[in-house]
A = this chain, B = another copy of it.
Amino acid sequence: MVERIPVAVMGATGLVGQRFVQLLADHPWFEIVALTASDKSAGKPYREAVHWVLGGDIPGQVADLRVEKTRPWTVEDAMIVFVALPSSVAPTVEPALAETGKIVVSNASSMRLEQDVPLINPEVNPDHLILLEEQRKRRSWQGAILKVPNCSTAILTLTLKPVDDKYGIREIHAVTMQAVSGAGYNGVPSYQILDNIVPYIPREEEKIRNETRKILGKPGRTGITPHPARIHATTTRAPVTDGHLEVLHVKLEEPPTTLKEIIKTLENYTGKPQQLQLPTAPPKPIIVARENNRPQPRLDRMNGNGMSVTTGRIRLQEDTLQLVTLGHNTIRGAAGTGILIAELYLKTTGQK
């Protein structure tokens, strides 16, 4: 029998924490050895501590695991720590974990823009892992911190990476319609969103602008040179459970002459996760929908087990590419990408 790599999930009772638990439960490489939550949940078996909202059953392997407090020492048996903590808690825990040798793969937004912190969307910028050298040198950590991008940004950058590679992106107009799960289980009151749209998500637009430019940027010795594209973003919340839809209008440096060419470019795109055959890598990271009324959140969010983005409505108007793209916000936009980052790290460092 294969030896499994011990992992922990911090913040395991929240919506993203539950996704981590669900995706890790049957993972071929990993074994959950610790789950943490708030102090008042600590001590209870996971099945009691969690208000499970993903449908199906709580995975049997962890249902009776005793939930720990969220402290550096409660996950000491883990080699990798997946973090789904609120951004108010993460900054105090993560560095302590990295110092004691843990590989921290975190969905929290803190530190995403620091020069020596890799912000990784595995198909898009696996080469940014090189920042870890600088990180260890500068901070004297035995472990490391790797960051998962903001949910909308993960979907956007995966969609646009092949476009940028081939045609050069000069300007992006991004308008999102984001699912309520993006705000966490209690994030959006139903009285606010039924028969309604809320055209504002705090700090989201600035995350899209900054993180996109970092992820599509060029790694150098001491950090990333951000991509020079101008980015305009307006983000909204829609009455949808899961799946962020994004309308992208993109000005290209060297627009192609045919739509077919762009479609082929998107459809054939693969990255390092596919080449390395990582367990969580979707066979096709970008699925191009042929029907003119797709992608749709309810129908397309689970494509590629939630790890593919689905792109459609591709149009070209002079130098401006227009398209609609969709991804599962708590899988491709959070827990799934977190696990894929861990897989990428292990494989490229020869530990798998």
Task: Using CB atoms and an 8 Å cutoff, list the residues of chain A in contact with chain B.
Answer: 15, 53, 55-56, 173, 175, 177, 180-181, 185-200, 230, 232, 234, 236, 238-241, 245, 247, 249, 292-300, 302, 312-313, 317-318, 320, 322, 324
Contacts and interface: CB of A to CB of B under 8 A. Distances in A.
Given A247-B175, A298-B55, A193 B196 contact: no
Contacts of A185: 189, 191-192
B232 A199 contact: no
Contacts of A189: 180, 185-190
A194 to B, nearest CB: 5
A288 B186 CA distance: 27
A144 B186 CA distance: 38
A201 to B, nearest CB: 9
Contacts of A296: 196-199
A63 to B, nearest CB: 13
B232 A322 contact: yes
A178 to B, nearest CB: 10
Nearest to A289: B199
A204 B312 CA distance: 17
Task: Tell me the number of copies of this protein.
Answer: 4
B240 A194 contact: yes
A240 B293 contact: no
A172 to B, nearest CB: 10
A247 B241 contact: no
A197 B177 contact: yes
A198 B53 CA distance: 12
Contacts of A200: 292-293, 313
Among A196, A238, A292, chain B packs the most CB atoms within 10 A around the CB of A196
Nearest to A200: B293
A304 B221 CA distance: 54
Contact of A190 (B173, B194, B320): B194
B195 A239 contact: yes
Contact of A294 (B195, B199, B297): B199
Contacts of A173: 173, 232, 249
Q: Top 10 closest A-B pairs, CB basis?
A: A175-B175, A195-B195, A200-B293, A190-B190, A196-B298, A199-B324, A180-B190, A173-B173, A188-B190, A234-B247
Contacts of A312: 199
A191 B192 CA distance: 12
14 contacts: A53-B192, A55-B300, A173-B232, A177-B177, A188-B189, A190-B239, A191-B241, A196-B240, A197-B240, A199-B293, A230-B318, A232-B249, A232-B322, A234-B313
Contacts of A247: 175, 199, 234, 236
A15 to B, nearest CB: 7
Contacts of A298: 55, 194-196, 241
